[in-house]
Copies of this chain bind each other. A is one copy, B any other.
Amino acid sequence: MATEYSEHIESKDKQPRTARGLKTKRKLLDAAALEFGEKGFHEASITGITQRAGTALGSFYTYFDSKDELFSALVKDMSARVKTHAAGAMTEWQDALEREKQALEAFMTFAREHKEIYRIIDEAEFVDPASYRSHYEETAMRIYERLQEGTATGDFRGGLEEAHAWAIMGMNVFLGMRYGIWSEEKSPGQIAELANGILAKGIAKKG
């Protein structure tokens, strides 16, 4: 859980200047991820965050300008984390279809291990709409690029548009919510396999 919440999180003049400060800030960030993930933005309180972090209320403002600013920073950081993790996971594939399967399986596994992340990104729709939008637009773009590559290598058919990427993303997100966050009755592998079946041949008879 404790991790390098990096660059984009600093707000110009509030960077810690000593090791002690750095440590405190990190404690606050980790605590905030938990608090927001558990209670949601509005139910979460600065008091709750500082309590979890084991610091005084006032220390929060040594490192952050406001509750919103912190949330926003957190969203951007989590979006980046999802991206990084996904990128690292799609290795060892010979077929573009196979790669999509791995992407979904990795996503589902990550979602299970970091349920707070998804809660926070989802709530960004209301608290920080711009970041929410960016998150999904960028994710869709990445998928779209893979689709084009797939077409180029002959694994995918032609005529695939950006909207296809949105469709695939929606599929993945909802499967992640239902079988990653809400319950774990099916394994990431099973779900990925099944979704891949749709991409491979659809659901119509014949084909």
Contact = CB atoms under 8 A, between A and B. Distances in A.
Interface of A: 40-42, 97, 122-123, 125-126, 133, 136, 140, 147, 150, 154-157, 160-161, 163-164, 166-175, 178-179, 182, 186, 191, 194-195, 198-205, 207
Given A133-B182, A179-B163, A198 B205 contact: no
B174 A169 contact: yes
Contacts of A42: 42, 126
A100 to B, nearest CB: 9
Oligomeric state, in copies: 2
Contact of A157 (B40, B136, B203): B203
Contacts of A40: 126
Contact of A205 (B154, B191, B195): B154
Nearest to A95: B204
A117 to B, nearest CB: 15
Contacts of A175: 163, 166-167, 170
Contacts of A133: 182
B126 A204 contact: no
B194 A164 contact: yes
Contacts of A170: 170-175
A198 B167 contact: yes
A43 to B, nearest CB: 8
A200 to B, nearest CB: 5
A198 B198 contact: yes
A203 B163 contact: no
Among A41, A42, A178, the most chain B Cβ lie within 10 Å of the Cβ of A178
Contacts of A195: 163, 167
Given A163-B194, A167-B195, A186-B163, A203 B173 contact: no
